[in-house]
Amino acid sequence: IIISVYEKIGKVETQMNEYTDLNLTINEIHILEKIGENHGINIRDLALCLGVTTATVTVAIQKLPKKGYVLKEKSRSDLRGVILSLTPDGTRVVRSHNIFHIRMVRSMTSGLTNEEKNALYESLNKLNGHLSDFLEKESNEKVRGISI
């Protein structure tokens, strides 16, 4: 059921994005979200946040400055590195997408009683904690050279 819900949420996001006049994919919007949460992030750290390779982020990020959503600046501490931040248009996209998420959650839970909402919240919070623990453990083991 969790996979089914996850897939449906992705479809809802994709469908809603099709009705906007933005020239962005859902993946690009999610990249903008992470840059907004981590102002001045570099590509390597953005890749870590997204759980993808630096090559994937490098390719994905190339269009965003041209579209007017991201600023790329040379890092002062690492001359080879690039620092990413949102433009005002990028910030507006992130705010709009966050409002969409709030409305989507309200819509999804509108038929639930307060007791059911609380139970759902507690269950999802536990699941989120377990997944965070797993990802942290996996990351620590990779750092030590142990693959899972």
What pTM, to 2 d.p., does this model score?
Answer: 0.78
Q: pLDDT of 82-128, one tens digit each?
A: 899 999 999 999 999 999 889 989 999 999 999 999 999 999 999 99
Tokens, residue 38: 């981590």
Helix (H) or strand (E) holding 101: helix 88-109
CB–CB of 19/60 below 8 Å?
Answer: no
Confidence of residue 142 (pLDDT cuts 50, 70, 90): low
The vertex-62 CA angle with 83 and 56, nearest 5°, equals 90
* Torsion angle (degrees, nearest 10) of CA 58, 64, 65, 67: 150
Cα separation of 46 and 123, whole Å? 29
Distance CA 105, CA 93 (A): 18
Sign of CA dihedral 120, 37, 9, 113: positive
The string of pLDDT tens digits covering residues 57-92 is 999 899 999 999 999 998 777 767 889 999 999 999
